[in-house]
Amino acid sequence: MNAHPDQTSGINSEAEVILRLLRLVHSNSALTQRRIANELGIAVGMANAYLRRCVTKGLIKIEQVPANRYMYYLTLTGFAEKSRLSIEYLTQSFGFFRAARRQCEVVVENCQVAGHRRLALFGASELADVFMLCIHDLDVSVICLVDESMEPGRFHGRPRVSSLDDAVDIDAVVLTDLKAPLLAYEALQRRFEASRIHVPKMLGMSEDDLCGQGGLG
């Protein structure tokens, strides 16, 4: 599953960004700040701020090389922190996985009851990954995943598209956006009837937020 600096686990967003930064430096010392920013999905200025923070904490050391380039290395403290954060993330991620799987199974049942067999997922996330695990051998299928922040590609063998316009011939949409679920729901609401939008409860949206839609998992 892809890691996102969001609410996919109990580990907070800042700690997850630091964990991913430490993993990047561990795997490749010859990184530019722009490459780091792209890999982490944050602005270059923010990537620089996280690098400075890690240097201040003694997690990363920097060496200048010719052509005004820099090499980044994990210190022994950085290795220890990477291990600690990895264990914390995995432990809490397994808790997330169990809760997400239960709620995705409820959403699948709701889809079956509503006669929604051909689905689109809205938002690339660990929740979307878990949903794919829940549909094997069931009478529902995911036609595509829509994520407006990503380039078109593939997702678990299905098309990943960047616009709802490309989600054709579907019965309903399952909201799987973990970064801004309410904004994502509002975008879906402008395109679909509420009864065609299914929302797992773990997204933390109230009945008022959902305006009485019937697909709450």
Distance CA 134, CA 62 (A): 45
Q: What pLDDT, on a 0 to 100 scale, did the predictor assign at position 216? A: 56
Q: Which of 38, 6, 5, 35 is nearest to 20 (CA)?
A: 5
pLDDT of residue 88: 79
Question: What is the token pair recorded at 129?
Answer: 């990954």
> In which residue ranges of the chain is CATH 1.10.10.10 found?
13-92
Residue 2 has pLDDT above 80, yes or no: no
- For the domain spanning 13-92, the CATH number is 1.10.10.10
Q: Which of 22, 32, 101, 95 is nearest to 58 (CA)?
A: 22
pLDDT score, position 6: 39
Instruction: Give the mean model confidence (pLDDT) for residues 2-8.
Output: 39
How many angstroms separate the CA atoms of 108 and 38, rounded? 34
- Sorting pLDDT into bands at 50, 70 and 90, what band is 182? confident
Where are the CATH 3.40.50.720 domain residues in the chain?
A: 98-216
For 23-77, how does the pLDDT look when each residue is reduced to its tens digit (9 = 90+)? 999 988 888 899 999 888 889 999 999 999 999 999 999 998 876 788 999 999 9
Give the pLDDT band (50/70/90) at residue 206: low
Residue 34, CA distances (Å) to 45, 48, 51, 154, 187 in order: 9, 9, 12, 25, 31
pLDDT, average across residues 6-10: 39
pLDDT of residue 53: 94
Mean pLDDT of the 183-187 span: 92
List C-alpha distances in Å: 97 to 94, 168, 193. Answer: 5, 29, 29
Which of 52-56, 190-194, 206-210 is the least confident region?
206-210
Say what the pLDDT of residue 209 is.
Answer: 58
Token pair in block for residue 199: 């929302």
pLDDT of residue 129: 93
The whole-angstrom separation of Cα 102 and Cα 92 is 16
For position 137, what pLDDT does the model report? 79
What's domain 98-216's architecture?
Answer: 3-Layer(aba) Sandwich (3.40)
Looking at residue 211, what is its pLDDT?
Answer: 57
Q: Which residues, at least 6 apart from 165, have a Cβ–Cβ distance to it below 8 Å? A: none
Query: Between these two residues, 211 and 171, which has the higher pLDDT value?
Result: 171
**pLDDT tens for residues 74-110?**
999 998 898 888 877 766 778 888 888 999 999 999 9
**Contact residues for 75 (Cβ-Cβ < 8 A; gap 6+):** 58, 59, 60, 61
Residue 186 has pLDDT above 60, yes or no: yes
Tens of pLDDT, residues 111-139: 999 999 999 999 999 899 999 998 987 88
Distance CA 77, CA 38 (A): 25
